[in-house]
Amino acid sequence: MFCEITRKLESDELERIQSLEEDLGLTLVAFSCRSLDPAREERLQKMMQELGQQLQAPPAEPDDGQLGRIRALEDELGLTLIAVDASAA
């Protein structure tokens, strides 16, 4: 599985993510994920290990209600949303 920060969001998708951020009081990072063939996956993992950790913001700890709303929006948009603690970055 290869995931990268989503670069192209439609304006309505971005508005929905920003609205949820405001409602929850959390910062969300949107990722697009796709499967790769095993050989490409292995090469990619080696390259990523060489680069080291890239995301400097630690994960936030949403409660069950917040997590449910995040998951619902993920399903609707077909993205992976990660809640991060932007104040610690």
Of 1 and 71, the one with more pLDDT: 71
Q: What is the distance between the alpha carbons of residues 78 and 31, in angstroms, rounded to a whole number?
A: 10
pLDDT in tens, 45-75: 787 778 766 667 888 999 999 999 999 999 9
- DSSP-assigned letters across all residues of 1-47: -EEEE-----HHHHHHHHHHHHHHT-EEEEEEEE---HHHHHHHHHH
Residue 10 lies in domain: 2-88
Domain count for the chain: 1
pLDDT-derived band at 1 (thresholds 50, 70, 90) equals low
Q: Is the pLDDT of residue 83 over 90?
A: yes
Cβ 81 vs Cβ 60: under 8 Å? no
Task: Give the integer Cα–Cα distance in Å for 32 and 57.
Answer: 18
Percent pLDDT > 90 in the chain is 53
Give the range among 3-17, 36-50, 52-66 with minimum mean pLDDT. 36-50
More confident residue, 14 or 48: 14
Token pair recorded at residue 56? 């400097």
